[in-house]
Structure 1
Amino acid sequence: MLVGYMRVSKADGSQSTDLQRDALLIAGVDSEQLYEDHASGRKDDRPQLVACLKGLRAGDTLLVWKLDRLGRDLRHLVNTVHDLTDRGVGLKVLTGEGAAIDTTTASGKLVFGIFAALAEFERALISERTVAGLNAARSRGRSGGRPYKMTAAKVRLAMSVMGQKETHVGQLCKELGITRQTLYRHVSPTGELRPDGAKLLSNKKSQAK
């Protein structure tokens, strides 16, 4: 069975899927087997895409007008097609830069294999640049990673209110600008210090001397 997926980025009516719909119908997709999303291609959790992928069965072929209608992230595309292939589902791109992709044919699989290799190459480059950037930062006396959001003052505040019946943990985390995981790593639900919290307060005292 042929199944079609369409997508436009805006949901305000300024963009239409008519061109995609016509191309998919001409390619043989039944109108009842068309799925349509109005969302960014960088979102992986598009509701109609999720429903479309879930409904595909072995022997089916998913058709898209252009490859970027399925998604704009190369790694997401590669992972999606690998999943379809493992389930015995084909993918065919009708036009655009990915028009040579048709995983139901040997040549189409080869083309997609090149895409997959490019995705792996991209991951390797990003990793290499990240490591190089961190090493450069360390050589200048700076450490990499995201700023540490928990402070000694926040630990003390959390200790004073945790365990009180009126304390809403979610609201507390929002006010402190931290996640629940970070909170519970430093302070217990009853307001007692945990190892990370004790270490933070100890470091603060050492700096003050």
Structure 2
Amino acid sequence: MLIGPTIEATGRMVGYARVSTKTQKLDLQMDALRRAGCETVFDDPGVSGAKAKRPGLDMALAHLRAGDVLVIYKLDRLGRSVEHLAALLREFHERGIHLCSLSEGINTQTIGGKLVFHVFSAVAEFQRDLIRENTLAGLEAAAQRGKRPGRPNRLSAQQVREARRAIRHEGVSYAAAGGRFGVSPATVWRAVAG
């Protein structure tokens, strides 16, 4: 039997449950949320946590008011990633909403729960900075090797010169120039204008 943290709410206790596939059942989570004292429970049956839009979560977020506690069975039922969890925790903090995760014993009304909020925020910021740093390092390494980021050019330098000459001096349309090289008129326009 799951024994979660003690929950004291000045507002309502609102539950949220999610399972990833249609074959999984919400029963375990629903029972735990009801035992915790949730009168209203929103759910997303068969919705992957990776999806940005989850109707049940969206309804729960719209339903919550300052002083309410959102109760979940486990943290992974709520957030798609550490960054997503941190963003939700920041939103809850700004709106005066608390979060309680029964399995992990996290309750943002307590000192320990507030620490968890700050740790998630710090980890998410670290993750963003690490991704940004790695991206910049990769771009710099590519530049040192003479590589340009992005898609390769559809037209060679010689083809661009030919298209430019044909358009400017022979009155050929962008569509006709594109037809010569098997590319769209927009590709020719970008190459000639660039």
Who wins on radius of gyration, i.e. which is larger?
Answer: 2
Shift of 1:101: 2.4
- What's the Cα RMSD here? 2.8
Structure 1 letter corresponding to 2:125: E
Counterpart in 2 of 1:17? 26
2:109 is the alignment partner of 1:91: no
Q: Output aligned runs, 1:117-156, within 5 Å.
A: 117-144=122-149, 146-147=150-151, 156=174
TM-score when normalising by structure 2: 0.74
Structure 2 vs 1, CA of residues 114 and 147 (structure 1 numbering), >3 Å: closer, same or farther?
same
Distance 2:131 2:55 in 1: 30
Counterpart in 2 of 1:69? 77
Q: Check whether the contact 1:100–1:111 (CA below 8 A) recurs between aligned residues.
A: no
Q: Output aligned runs, 1:1-16, within 5 Å.
A: 1-11=12-22, 14-16=23-25
- Percent identity between the aligned chains? 43
Q: Output aligned runs, 1:103-182, within 5 Å.
A: 103-144=108-149, 146-147=150-151, 156-157=174-175
SS of 1:147 mapped into structure 2: coil
TM-score when normalising by structure 1: 0.69
What is the number of equivalent residue pairs in this alignment? 162
- Structure 1, unpaired ranges of 5+: 161-175, 177-182, 187-195, 204-209
Distance 1:142 1:66 in 2: 45
2:41 is the alignment partner of 1:34: yes
Structure 2 vs 1, CA of residues 149 and 68 (structure 1 numbering), >3 Å: closer, same or farther?
farther
